[in-house]
Chains A and B, each alone.
Chain A
Amino acid sequence: MAAGAGAAAGGRSFSFKVVLLGEGCVGKTSLVLRYCENKFNDKHITTLQASFLTKKLNIGGKRVNLAIWDTAGQERFHALGPIYYRDSNGAILVYDITDEDSFQKVKNWVKELRKMLGNEICLCIVGNKIDLEKERHVSVQEAEMYAESVGAKHYHTSAKQNKGIEELFLDLCKRMIETAQVDERARGNGSSQSGTARRGVQIIDDEPQVQSSGGCCSSG
């Protein structure tokens, strides 16, 4: 069962949810399409959509089901972030190395994610479009230092040239397995007590009134 942290009771197979965050034109979609379909800007892409993709991996004998959730990057949808990244095991924060603003956005997301999900979530900060090194506006040093300061890992990728993407996802999976195993051990064999982060999505912004079992007080 893929409840809770996404680890199966047996511990041999894992299901992870990874959210993909990043501003409009940083190449989120290209990144996952390159990873899942090994195609870039291809007119012959067969998938209908690139917003929800899955990938099965086998890492050191452990089966991993990766579900990659793309999120809408437009500013107007920023407030919806928490609905998307609830219960995710990992987040990939993409910025465009030629665009200072997109890096600033990443910083905002990191702050939010840490606030909402604590250290449970594995963060990857990804500088995409390294094929445009000449036009770089975000310095490598600055980005890497920032990543380290927030406990995230930094990666350089190019979806166009297929650089660094395989490594990024592989590394992320390894880290998520580690986190899940630590979590499992901490919970004492896992299976009996997974009632914590199980509940799905709730969009009500006010707390649901928890009633006593008396039951007949009016709900207004």
Chain B
Amino acid sequence: MNLKSERRGIHVDQSELLCKKGCGYYGNPAWQGFCSKCWREEYHKARQKQIQEDWELAERLQREEEEAYASSQSTQGAQSLTFSKFEEKKTNEKTRKVTTVKKFFTASSRAGAKKALAGKLKEIQEAKAPSPSIHRQASIETDRVSKEFIEFIRTYQKPGQDIYKQCKLFLDTMSHKRELSIEEQSECAQDFYQNVADRLQTRWKVPPEKVEKAMDEVEKYIMTRQYKYVFCPETTDDEKKDLAVQKRIRALHWVTPQMLCVPVSEEIPEVSDMVVKAITDIIEMDSKRVPRDKLACITKCSKHIFNAIKITKNEPASADDFLPTLIYIVLKGNPPRLQSNIQYITRFCNPSRLMTGEDGYYFTNLCCAVAFIEKLDAQSLNLSQEDFDRFMTGQTSPKKQESDSFSPDVCLGVKQMCKSLDLLSQLNERQERIVSEAKKLEKDLIDWTDGITKEVEDIVEKYPLEIKAKSQALAAIDSENVENDKLPPPLQPQVYAG
């Protein structure tokens, strides 16, 4: 397309400007050289196939919802009752989403829903832009998960079919049970997990590892579908608790790592990197729909924490190190809808994963962290009650070491940079000192050698070395002693006349 318009710039020909189809109208590069009419036709043809596919999808979705819809007919009255409540209670975006989804399937007739969905699809395609409709994205995801599930379950052959039937049955039953309290729904889900696992193991004799894998997929499949109904449901005060925790964490913004005795030093760039990653992971948890995926986020976060501790302390982290750090991460990250997520995982996660596995351990620690934050008081931070109160009411904030030279809104990177610059200049200074010291030392050494030479020369001058001839001494070695002449003359033999 680009190429074509360039060429036209050089070689403008009447035929080039006309519609490629030769209908006589002018074409437009934006329509790939077609006129508007031909383009629409061409485009339509190209998209027809995709629309057809999407139509099939819509039909299938509709079929799936049909049963649920038929059954919900009987409880229509009750549902509209919840609707009015919905309207009153919608306090966040999520509730609005759920409402549209519900409206979509309950308010319109079957054919109407299909038409609406198809219409929506067309709209999306013609707008040629990613749809902002969350509902649409959600159903795409649901669809993808279904496809994957069916593909996966096929590998299990007969037991797979059975499990698929069970899942369908369960989803169907659950759609009747929307009015039950969340605890009862959770109970149903847990029973379902238990039953499916037992069935696979005892009836179909599937080996344990395969059971575990199948259970993961089952959880993924049913919870993707159930999510919108059972995550932070309006029958509970989960949302209220979310807000309370969020507010609490915000009020505790002044808590420093030192107060919590966090064994992590954010001065080290790698460590602060890990801390940021851990925070990202824990925040990401809210975006997942399947309990297991949420757990995976917590685990990823924990691994980053362990890394941070390992780098700082150079030994494997114990729980004594891990929990305070996790608390600190939660305080720093303030993850959205924390309570709702915890409750959702508790209620709808496959229990075997939650009880004994590694994921379960990290999840338990997160629960501990939240419980600690909720109950946190002066004593648990080793502060006096007065200090704690003052910090909580925002009268003062604890002095941070770095706060003297930085305003609080300077970002971390800049702070790190300033610190590094500081260190560098210190290093530079020290280096200069070393160089000057070295020069001095060199000079001293030279002076010293000079000095020594001079001294030696002086001494040599003062005491010149005189070599005297030693002729006598040499001769005397084997002769009589030097002092001989002082001695009396040797005795002469005397002859006595006898």
Interface mask (B165-178 → A, CB under 8 Å = 1, otherwise 0) = 00000000000000
Known contacts A17-B355, A208-B183, A213-B180: does B368 contact A51 (CB below 8 Å)? no
The chain B residue with its CB closest to the CB of A13 is: B208
Question: How far, in whole Å, are A214 and B352 apart by their CA atoms in the complex?
Answer: 31
Q: How far is the CB of A79 from chain B (nearest CB, A)?
A: 7
User: Whole-angstrom distance between the alpha carbons of A3 and B215 in the complex?
Assistant: 13
How far does the alpha carbon of A51 sit from the alpha carbon of B317 in the complex, in Å?
Answer: 7
A165 to B: closest C-beta gap in Å: 16
B420 within 8 Å of A (CB atoms): no
Give residues 298-333 of B contacting A (CB, 8 Å). Answer: 303, 306-307, 309-310, 314-324
In Å, the complex CA distance between A28 and B321 comes to 13
- State how many angstroms separate the Cβ of A142 from the closest Cβ of chain B: 27
Shortest C-beta distance, A163 to chain B (Å), equals: 21
Distance, CA A194 to CA B364, complexed state (A): 22
Nearest to A218 among chain B residues (CB) is B85
CA distance A211 to B234 in the complex (A): 13
A43 CA / B313 CA spacing, docked (Å): 11
Kindly identify which residue among A2, A17, A47, A70 contacts B319, using a CB–CB cutoff of 8 Å: A70
B367 in complex: contacting residue of A33, A65, A83, CB < 8 Å:
A83
Per DSSP, chain A at the interface is loop
Question: Chain A residues near B184 (CB, 8 Å)?
Answer: 210, 213
Question: Across the interface, do B316 and A77 meet the contact criterion of CB distance under 8 Å?
Answer: no
Q: Give min CB distance, B248 to chain A, whole Å.
A: 14
The 8 Å CB contact of B318, one of A2, A51, A202, is: A51
**Which residues of A have CB within 8 Å of B324?**
72, 74
Q: Is the CB of B320 within 8 A of A74?
A: yes
The reply on B476 being an interface residue by CB < 8 A is no
Task: Write out the residue numbers on chain B whose beta carbons fall within 8 Å of the beta carbon of A77.
Answer: 323, 368, 372
Q: Which of B154-162, B193-201, B409-417, B434-442 contacts A (4 or more CB under 8 A)?
A: B193-201
For chain A, which range describes its interface: under 10, 10 to 19, 20 to 34, or 35 or more residues? 35 or more
Q: Are A17 and B356 in contact (CB under 8 A)?
A: yes
Contacting residue for B194 out of A67, A194, A214, CB 8 A: A194
- In angstroms, Cα B184 to Cα A70, docked, is 33
Q: Give 1 or 0 for each of A1-24: 1 = CB within 8 Å of chain B CB.
A: 111001011100101110010001
CB neighbours of B321 from chain A (8 A) = 51
B428 at the interface (CB under 8 A from A): no
- Knowing A49-B316, A70-B319, the reply to whether A200 touches B346 (Cβ < 8 A) is yes
Alpha-carbon distance A199/B348, docked complex (angstroms): 10
Known: A17-B356, A203-B371. A48 touches B351 (CB 8 A): no
In the complex the two chains form, is B81's CB within 8 Å of A216's CB? Answer: yes
Q: Establish whether residues A84 and B357, one from each chain, have CB atoms under 8 Å apart when the complex forms.
A: no
Within 8 A of B (CB), among A187-213: 191, 194-195, 198-204, 208-211, 213
Q: Which residue of A lies closest to B360 (CB)?
A: A200
A76 on the interface (CB 8 Å rule)? yes
CB nearest to A51 among chain B residues = B319
Chain A residue with the shortest CB-CB distance to B303:
A48
Bound-state Cα–Cα, A39 to B237, Å: 48
> Which chain A residues border B66 with CB–CB below 8 Å?
none
| A98 within 8 Å of B (CB atoms) | no
CA distance A28 to B279 in the complex (A): 28
Contact with A along B185-198 (1 / 0, CB 8 A): 00000110010011
Give CA–CA (A199, B354) in the complex, Å.
9
Contact A52 B358 (CB under 8 A): yes
A47 contacts B372, C-beta separation under 8 Å: no
A214 to B306, CA, bound (A): 47
CA distance A216 to B179 in the complex (A): 8
Is A59 an interface position by the 8 A CB rule? no
For this complex, 20 residue pairs linking A to B, each with C-beta atoms less than 8 Å apart, are A1-B208, A3-B197, A8-B208, A9-B201, A17-B355, A48-B306, A48-B317, A49-B316, A51-B361, A71-B319, A72-B323, A74-B261, A195-B191, A204-B241, A208-B183, A213-B180, A214-B179, A215-B78, A215-B235, A216-B81
Q: A49-B309, A51-B322, A76-B380 are in contact. List 16 more A-B contacts (CB 8 A).
A: A3-B351, A28-B318, A28-B319, A71-B319, A79-B375, A191-B198, A195-B190, A195-B194, A199-B351, A200-B346, A200-B349, A203-B367, A211-B235, A213-B181, A215-B180, A219-B236
Binding site for B on A (CB under 8 A): 1-3, 6, 8-10, 13, 15-17, 20, 24, 28-29, 33, 43, 45, 47-52, 54, 65, 67, 69-74, 76-77, 79-80, 83-84, 87, 191, 194-195, 198-204, 208-211, 213-216, 218-220
